[in-house]
Amino acid sequence: MANPLASLREHLKQEIERMKAAHDAGEEIAAYDALLLCQALKRPAPDWVVETITREKMSGIARKKPPKKIGRLARPAERHRQLLFDSMCYLLAKTLYDDSRAVPGLRKLSWYEAYEHAAEQLGVSEKTVRKAISRLKRPRYASWIVAMALNLGPRKSRT
């Protein structure tokens, strides 16, 4: 009587050879079928299977472009960094303005002077600080929660 384990090995070998012939003939899925069969039987995959799948995967990665996001989801990380910078500009200008009024004997700064000092400390132009603060007050750039946390107050309706 034939050894069942030997016949199983022979059958596996024949199937792998059949899949290799199909792959060589241009059948793209044959390498994946061979890999699945080897994994199901807990056998190591032949070198041609590993090389084929690796080559196809690497060429697919090289050709693949990241998905393009549209609308509000376009650049969340950039918008978050911009929001943080805008918030920092506002908080620094507001702190300078409030501190000049809170300490007796200090000359009270106007908002324009607070913008100038904030710009100096941040190493940017005064125009950049003004734009950052105006961006922060727009509802499409900052949620109302951020606006309330920064004490910008509620937006007035334009109607």
pLDDT score for 158: 52
Closest-CA residue to 92 (of 47, 126, 62, 52): 126
Q: Strands of the chain (E only): list them.
A: none
pLDDT score for 38: 86
pLDDT score for 143: 55
pLDDT score for 83: 78
Running along the chain, 159 residues long, what does each successive block of 10 average in pLDDT? Answer: 73 87 87 87 88 80 65 67 82 88 84 91 90 79 51 50
Q: Has this prediction a pTM greater than 0.85?
A: no
Give the residue carrying structure tokens 């951020």.
Answer: 146
Q: Which residues contact 118 (CB under 8 A, 6 or more apart)?
A: 89, 92, 93, 96, 129
pLDDT score for 116: 92
pLDDT score for 127: 92
pLDDT score for 152: 52
pLDDT score for 105: 80
**Backbone angles phi and psi of 155, in degrees to 5:** -75, 140
